[in-house]
């Protein structure tokens, strides 16, 4: 069990209390914060371009008041190709996180999809940190792992204050 699983145990019920319109916003903010936190940052690659292009589509949907963005053309194929190319540590979980932002019917993203996005974002940080033996204690000793969990809780709490 990861530290994230222990620390975010209550997140699923907190997410279920959010209005569906806020879930996409929480997902986008969490992915953006995760990208900012990765050290070193993702290189300019097909994976990083898919992530940034997908975030832009989601942000445009949020700004237009649509919380269920249409799947970008060829997203599935592009993600598959990027994964087949063997992306750098942290990129695959972020690709999975952005894929989970698309294809939801009205009223928008569900509880499980957002919970998965949060988990994927933590996994990206964990992969990037390349902890030799992953245990909750090793994660607890890692500043970026602790910070990723803190930021996710902060984003969720802020959203709960707006719901």
Cβ–Cβ < 8 Å for 46, 78 = yes
pLDDT in tens, 94-134: 999 999 999 887 788 999 999 999 999 999 999 999 999 99
Query: For the structural domain made of 2-37+44-161, what CATH number should be given?
Result: 1.20.1590
What are the tokens at 155? 């984003």
Mean pLDDT, rounded, for 83-98:
94
Sorted by where each begins, the domain ranges of the chain are 2-37+44-161
Three-point CA angle 72, 78, 83, nearest 5°: 135
Report the mean per-residue pLDDT for the chain: 94
Cβ–Cβ < 8 Å for 128, 94 = no
Mean pLDDT, rounded, for 55-71:
90
pTM of structure:
0.95
Whether 33 has a pLDDT exceeding 80, the answer reads yes
DSSP, collapsed to helix, strand or coil, labels residue 130 as: coil
């Amino acid at each position: 069990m990861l530290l994230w699983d222990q620390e975010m145990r209550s997140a699923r019920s907190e997410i279920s209390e959010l209005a569906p319109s806020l879930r996409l916003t929480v997902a986008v903010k969490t992915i953006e914060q995760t990208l900012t936190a990765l050290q070193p940052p993702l290189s300019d690659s097909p994976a990083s371009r898919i992530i940034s292009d997908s975030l832009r589509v989601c942000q445009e949907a949020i700004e237009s008041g649509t919380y269920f963005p249409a799947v970008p053309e060829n997203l599935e194929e592009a993600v598959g190709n990027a994964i087949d190319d063997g992306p750098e540590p942290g990129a695959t979980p972020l690709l999975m996180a952005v894929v989970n932002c698309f294809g939801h019917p009205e009223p928008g993203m569900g509880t499980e999809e957002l919970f998965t996005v949060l988990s994927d974002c933590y996994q990206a940080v964990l992969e990037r940190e390349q902890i030799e033996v992953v245990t909750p204690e090793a994660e607890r000793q890692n500043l970026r792992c602790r910070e990723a969990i803190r930021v996710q809780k902060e984003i969720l709490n802020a959203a709960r204050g707006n719901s």
